[in-house]
Amino acid sequence: MIYLIIAIVLGIIMLVAAVIAVYNKDLKTAIIAAGVTSLFASVLYVLLAAPDVALTEASIGSGLTTLIFFYVYNKIRRNNAQE
């Protein structure tokens, strides 16, 4: 029963974050929202008895992907500022 509540709440949060990631005008917010989606996907994997996948998603999906996104965005921003 408690699993069901957790799954429903996590699903709502992930859907909201995904919509923000697609629709928000601000690119920084969109990147962070994509990070939130994978963060809660990782909790959902723990719930679905897949700790291996959860570990991978937590370390790669939310950690390194966000880092790479921000590096690239920073580079693009700096190129724009030089114009």
Partner 1 sequence: MLRNSLILLVLLGFAAAIFPLLHSYEAKDALTGVAEHYANYGKEEVGAANLVSAVVVTYRGFDTLGEVTILFLASAVIGLFLKASETYTKDTRSVFFKSTEILVTASRLLVPMILLLGVYIFINGHLTPGGGFQGGAVIASAFALLLLSRPQKHFSHKVISVVESISGISFVFIGLLGVLLAGGFLDNHILAMGKFGTLLSAGAIPIIYILIGLKVGSELTGIVRNLKESQKEG
Partner 2 sequence: MQLFSIEYISLVVGFLILLIGIWGILTRKNILKMVIGFSLFDTGTHIIIVALGYVKNKTAPILNQPDLQTDTAHKIVDPVPQALVLTAIVIGLGVTALMLVYAMKLHNEKKTLNIQNYKDLKW
Partner 3 sequence: MVNTVLTISVVLILLSVLLSLYRFIKGPNTADRVIAFDVMTIASIGLIALISYFANRLIYLDVAVVYGLLSFIGVIVVAKFLEKSL
Q: Summarize as ranges the residues that interact with partner 2 (CB under 8 A).
A: 3-4, 7-8, 10-11, 14-15, 18-19, 21-22, 27, 30-31, 34, 37-38, 41, 44-45, 47-53, 56-57, 60-61, 64-65, 68-69, 72-73, 75-76, 79-80, 83
Cα separation of 83 and 68, whole Å?
24
Cα angle vertex 59, ends 70, 53, to 5°? 135
Residue 46 Cβ vs partner 1, minimum distance, rounded to whole Å? 10
Residue type for position 66: T
In this structure, the chain runs to a length of 83
Q: Which of 3, 22, 52, 80 binds partner 1 (CB under 8 A)?
A: 52
